[in-house]
Amino acid sequence: MSSEKTSYSLDLDEAKIPSHVAIIMDGNGRWAKKRILNRVKGHERGMEVVRTIVRTSRNIGVSYLTLFAFSTENWQRPRLEVSALMSLLKKFLVSERDELHDNNVRLNMVGQKERLPGDVKKLLDETMSMTGKNTGMVLNLAISYGSRDEILQMVRHISKRVNDGDIKLDEINHKLISNHLYTAGMPDPDILIRTSGEMRISNFLLWQIAYSELFITRTLWPDFTEQEYIEIIKDFQQRDRRFGKV
Ligand code: FPP
């Protein structure tokens, strides 16, 4: 990461850099299968791509980058794959923390922290507190994240506040709902990218992506490049966003 603009970013319209980019990083398993490799090799290569896309996002001025690293459903994968993904996360949290910090990136997590193994939680807490005051970009890792679960927790929380007399029923509005989600205080994603060609949202940020621009690429996540990412942002900059108006 560097504060200097790289040559490709000169082609971008600086006034229309997306504030928030969200990515469903799909296709690691298929990438490995095509090469007759273990699925974990696909996740390892995927982690390299995470590093590239974090750097690029920071360099071009994205304020929030949300990456779907592990879903609530992913706990049902074979035990060995789950533990390999947790190990990769730990590796990432250690190997990247200095670079994140040096580049003013704040690490945040969205998801069920309480379900994570103690050692992952510890490294996450350490990296989040080390980078906690950084203001250049927020890297949101979605880990043990599921949007329906997030919405369920929000409904319970708001209902309790109504029950307790803390808020009135007619004070429940869009803003209050947003403020009770993991992404409280953040803008909604401008762009949602999904790699590997599947035409699904897979329980990711269901409330938050109401007006996000969707980009689905057939590229498998381990093959996703900085160039393709920049092309997507250029395409986004050409789109006419009307938010339901004319
Ligand atoms: C989906 O591919 C990807 C995941 C479930 C995990 C994403 C993890 C990484 C990119 C690496 C680790 C990330 C960090 C932040 C350290 P899939 O396995 O569902 O692929 P398939 O659909 O082809 O089987």
User: DSSP letters along 93-150, please?
Assistant: HHHSHHHHHHTTEEEEEES-GGGS-HHHHHHHHHHHHHSTT--SEEEEEEEEE-HHHH
Write the pLDDT tens digit of every residue in 220-242.
Answer: 999 999 999 999 999 999 988 78
Q: Is 203 a catalytic residue?
A: no
Structure tokens, 176? 């209050």
Q: Contact at 8 Å (CB) between 77 and 34? A: no
Q: Ligand 1 atom closest to Cα of 44?
A: 11
What pLDDT does residue 9 have?
60
Q: Is 26 a catalytic residue?
A: yes
Structure tokens, 112? 């069920």
50 lines ligand 1 (CB under 6 A): yes
Q: Contact at 8 Å (CB) between 97 and 125? A: no
Low-confidence ranges of the chain (pLDDT < 70): 1-10
109 lines ligand 1 (CB under 6 A): no
Residue nearest to atom 18 of ligand 1 (CA): 29
Structure tokens, 83? 């533990």
Task: Choose one of 28, 77, 83, 88 to mutate for the ligand 1 pocket test, by most ligand atoms within 8 angstroms of C-beta.
Answer: 28
> How far, in Å, CA of 47 to CA of 68, rounded?
12
**H-helix or E-strand containing 154?**
helix 147-163
Q: Contact at 8 Å (CB) between 6 and 59? A: yes
* Structural domains of the chain ordered from first start: 18-146+187-238 (3.40.1180.10)
Q: For the whole model, what pTM was predicted?
A: 0.95
Q: Which of 26, 108, 188, 190 does the annotation list as catalytic?
A: 26
Own/partner long-range contacts of 34-40 (Cβ < 8 Å, ≥24 apart): 39/81, 40/80, 40/81, 40/84
What pLDDT does residue 74 have?
97
Range 60-81 burial, b when 16+ CB lie within 10 A, else e: bebbbbbbbbbbbebeebeeee
Q: Ligand 1 atom closest to Cα of 198?
A: 22
What residues form DSSP beta bridges with 213? 191
The values of phi and psi at residue 20, to 5°, are -135, 125
Which of 188, 181, 102, 91 has the alpha carbon at shortest distance from 145?
181
54 lines ligand 1 (CB under 6 A): no
Q: Contact at 8 Å (CB) between 63 and 137? A: yes
> How far, in Å, CA of 20 to CA of 22, rounded?
7
41 lines ligand 1 (CB under 6 A): no
Q: Which of 11, 13, 59, 74 does the annotation list as catalytic?
A: 74
